[in-house]
């Protein structure tokens, strides 16, 4: 009998820089800042949630959404055999509001157009609800790491601190 392998809940935490809309994202920081701080989270049944927070550098997440989604899918998720439609893409924009990116114009596995949907009241709690709904289970230490890396408010017992 073969043992079932499970993914750790946090599959990646890293910054990305997109210098301008239409430019290819690159890993790392520019002048100590990021366009997006990214977390790839694994939930139940192979579900994936990508959480991004805008770092107010270069192009915004909103203005570079197609590039970010395609880049992240091709380099970090596709090898896991997760379909593009099985991924939730949530982000905090440069104004602090939480929204969802929905790939809308897709050719193969490349995204050429997206739609945006506000997450509930557009608060961090709404993003955390999406994460929980997709079956991502984080320990207290993992939650603290996620909050620190994405520059989110700390979460204690289901409430923002």
Counting Cα atoms < 13 Å in the Cβ hemisphere of 76 gives 23
Residue with tokens 């909103």: 62
Tell if the pTM clears 0.75, that is, is over it.
Answer: yes
158 in a structural domain:
no
How far apart are the C-alpha atoms of 50 and 77, rounded to whole Å? 10
Domain that holds residue 104: 10-152
Q: What is the mean pLDDT of the chain?
A: 89
1 in a structural domain:
no
Nearest to 91 by CA among 80, 82, 83, 100: 100
pLDDT tens figures, 9-50: 999 999 999 999 999 999 999 999 999 999 999 998 889 999
Residue 156 has pLDDT above 60, yes or no: no
Residue 123 has pLDDT above 60, yes or no: yes
- Is 161:153 a contact under the CB 8 Å cutoff? yes
Query: With bands split at pLDDT 50, 70 and 90, how would you rate the model's confidence at 8?
Result: confident
Residue 6 has pLDDT above 70, yes or no: no
- Is 96:60 a contact under the CB 8 Å cutoff? no
How far apart are the C-alpha atoms of 112 and 83, rounded to whole Å? 16
Q: Which residue has the higher pLDDT, 75 or 158?
A: 75
Nearest to 91 by CA among 40, 45, 139: 40
- Number of separate domains in the chain: 1
């Amino acid at each position: 009998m073969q043992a079932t392998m499970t993914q750790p809940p946090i599959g990646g935490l890293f910054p990305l820089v997109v210098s301008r809309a239409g430019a290819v994202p690159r890993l790392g920081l520019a002048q100590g800042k990021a366009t997006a701080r990214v977390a790839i989270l694994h939930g139940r049944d192979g579900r994936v949630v990508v959480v991004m927070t805008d770092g107010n550098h270069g192009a915004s997440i909103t203005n570079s959404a197609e590039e970010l989604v395609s880049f992240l899918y091709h380099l970090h998720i596709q090898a896991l055999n997760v379909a593009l439609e099985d991924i939730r893409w949530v982000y905090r924009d440069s104004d602090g509001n939480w929204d969802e990116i929905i790939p809308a114009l897709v050719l193969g596995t490349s995204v050429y157009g997206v739609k945006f949907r506000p997450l509930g009241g557009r608060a961090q709690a709404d993003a955390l609800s999406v994460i929980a709904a997709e079956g991502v289970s984080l320990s207290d230490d993992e939650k603290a790491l996620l909050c620190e890396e994405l520059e989110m408010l700390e979460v204690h017992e289901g409430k923002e601190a």
